[in-house]
Structure 1
Amino acid sequence: MAGNSQRRNRRTSNKKGATVGSGGKRRRGLEGKGPTPPAEMRKGHVKQRVANARARQAAKRPVPRRGGKGPNEMVVGRNPVVEALREGVPANTLYVQQFIDSDDRVREALKLAADRGGIHLMEAPKAELDRLTNGLNHQGLVLQVPPYEYAHPEDLSAAAFDEDEDPLIVALDGVTDPRNLGAVVRSVSAFGGHGVVVPERRAAGMTAGAWKTSAGTAARTPVARATNLTRTLEAYQKAGLMVVGLAADGDVELQDLEALDGPVVIVVGSEGKGLSRLVGETCDLRVRIPMPGGAESLNAGVAAGVVLYEAARRRA
């Protein structure tokens, strides 16, 4: 009717007015969002709930500080986590911060963890990761390394005798750098040794750093932990092993050491302090490595490698 056209807000035309543009949103919406994340990382997925529950139980499980196992360890930060996964460091949980800004390292960490299997992926808020790492700069990635299963010192010599071989064992006295321990483990593996002994206290343990330096050889070379290194060396002596300590002021030079042909324990001290007094007095022989270049000392990893090479050459 004639008066109806005067109503407020009444459309009097079928023409559409101007519309606001999409601003490129539709085009961006068609772009890919990357690979589908693993089921453990999808919010609400049943596998994520299961993985989170297992990870919470593992984090709360009490870990013995003494005995055959070491403590849990947290590898913190994007680069350290990726490097640890690349080197095959044992791990049971990868914590990823919620709403993390993903980059190449985050994506590689997720892929490596998924490919290896057995590593639970757990998404956690930043506050929880701050608590787990005691406030360290974790960059949204934290890798939990399970306790290392140490052997008993007697197991090393027993395994060699079972194979009808003369034991070749390295004992470390006061070596606190895990990288040195990892290097010694690698040399023991390379030159046919039967294991490494470390003291329980004031010494490096099989941490993620030691695993990385060992380049995977820690998976097949046992590391034993001694409550008292002096008593352990005495037990080896009673079992028929010669205990040889490396010292700059040793009475015998390495090339003259005939004991390397038989069952032997090579004791290596720290680069700075050398052998402790009690350990030095327990050794059957004190041996020096000739260094015509004039260097005062070698670090534990290099020194052990030199002696192990000489032992392998003679035994061959």
Structure 2
Amino acid sequence: MKKKSLDFFGALKTLILPATPATVTRELDNNAILGELLACFDKSCKKESVGSSLLFNMHFVIILHPDRYAERLASFPVIVKEAVKGFYKKLNLYKPQYEEISPVSVQWHFRFGEGEFFNGEKMHPDDIQVIGMLTGGREASTPAAGNTTKVTMKSKRTNVYEKMDINLDLLQQVNFVDTGSFSVRYSADLKLASGPAARNNRNLDQGIARISYYLADRNEDGIYLMKDKEMVIARKDPGNQAYSNYLLIDSGFVSDPHARIRLNESTGSFQIASFSRFETRVNEVVVPRSDPGQPQWVELANESQLLLNASVTLHFSAIT
């Protein structure tokens, strides 16, 4: 009788508190990596889009445990190809809800890296961390202390992708090599172009435009390669050093931001908009000042000379 009583209460306990099922772990495979990329991109469409413009991440960092990185290395080009195909499918689904699709770069960028630790936590062999950005962070350089940027990444607390701040110093813990870097040119047709789907970033170093600049007040010069569809000219301040599409000029004669240059893919021409309260001239013609949220675009001819605040000279050359 005693045994029956125990069986009864044991069964009752099971009904009230069901046994916790054993955790099922699955080895990280190519589809798991692809799924994380697609989830990150989809969240960016919802978080980054504004008004009637469909905006989304075009730069992705994928961090794997060293064991899985070596195991999956040969698959990276195919994962990238399938990811871009998936991105276009998502964009075609969202397109009817927006008046304009607004890519911030002329190509998708993917960087695979390996690390045993990330964000203060140990990476297990089947862990994966996907980080999405509108534009690339300056992780290859030596970022200033406390330098952060907004990214789309999965929170361990909720296990869902959210928009959050990340300190770019964290990416210095990750080993990035050329064999894990890929770029795919963005297609306005929202279809993956035929031919090789992914190219190593070293083939894109020439950029789409070259901007040489000279600071008269400091007798300094430099060259900036424009590699994105749109770039920003701004004063070099700690708050804007996280982005690869910024030409940062260390001069008090430059505003923050001062101007933007973009490639108009529908015409193949370049355009400029000025936001500074000081003069911006292109070939001695003053560019009207506009609000950063509503830029007034002016045609920027090849081999143009720009003058910022009568002190900083720039020379713009398109790369064909």
TM range (shorter): under 0.3
Structure with the higher fraction of residues in helix conformation: 1
**What TM-score do you get using the length of structure 2 for normalisation?**
0.24
Decide which structure has the larger Cα Rg and report it: 1
**What TM-score do you get using the length of structure 1 for normalisation?**
0.24
Structure with the higher fraction of residues in strand conformation: 2
